[in-house]
Homo-oligomer: A and B are copies of this chain.
Amino acid sequence: METLDTTRDEDFLRLDHQICFSLHAATRAFNGVYRGALKELGLTYPQYLVLLVLWERGELPVKRIGEHLRLDSGTLSPLLKRLEAAGYVERRRSAEDERSVTARVTEDGAALREKALGVPRRIAAATGMSLEEIRDLRAQLNRLAARLDEVDPDDLTVCG
């Protein structure tokens, strides 16, 4: 039987054996589909994700948004600035903790939610998958991401 231990290094190197590549390709394919669906809203896909969080949770510090989306301030700061420039988001320094900046949607941002309501259904339809299949795949991916996030970097170097 073919197992992790009996498979040769050579076989592992084949492109079509790389799950990371399938993941990468599927993500980019999704990105393309979202690009089309979000075009009329004037949003990029990461901007849409940030709005999903703010629509769902209300006003949040940048830090919390980053925890929900697994993104840091280096990505979120300019992204939020662009959302602010577009008039969908307001930012202000927290009164309780002056280090913290919170973001919340403006009226325009809230109105955008109505226009976004139809997006996920069209995306889901585009996948050609049932809700159950989607849920299963999502659960698999979440488990995978959780495990990968826990990996000790030292386990990856040649010398161990």
In angstroms, Cα B16 to Cα A120, docked, is 12
Residue of B nearest to A17 (CB): B120
Bitwise interface map of A from 13 to 28 toward B, beta carbon under 8 Å scored 1, else 0: 1110111111111111
A149 within 8 A of B: yes
B55–A124 CB distance below 8 A: no
Residue of B nearest to A34 (CB): B20
Task: Give the residues from 96 to 154 in chain A that come closer than 8 angstroms, CB to CB, to chain B.
Answer: 113, 115-118, 120-131, 134, 137-138, 140-142, 144-145, 147-149, 151, 153
Check if A86 is an interface residue, CB within 8 A of chain B: no
A window 46-97: CB within 8 A of B: 49, 52-53, 55-56, 68-70
**Complex contacts, A29 vs chain B, CB 8 Å:** 70, 144-145, 148-149
Considering only CB atoms, which chain B residue lies closest to A41 in the complex? B158
Q: Report how far A22 CA is from B36 CA in the complex, Å.
A: 20
Q: Which of B15, B23, B134 contacts A19 (CB 8 A)?
A: B134
With both chains docked as a complex, state the minimum distance between the C-beta of A129 and any C-beta of chain B, in angstroms.
Answer: 7
Question: A122 to B157, alpha carbons, bound, how many Å?
Answer: 9
- Alpha-carbon gap, A70 to B153, bound state (A): 29
Assess A121 versus B12: contact at CB under 8 Å? Given A23-B141, A131-B3, A148-B32: yes
Say which residue of B15, B23, B53 sits within 8 Å of A23 (CB atoms). Answer: B23
On chain B, the residues within 8 Å of A122 by CB distance are: 155-156
A23 & B27 in contact (Cβ 8 Å cutoff) = yes
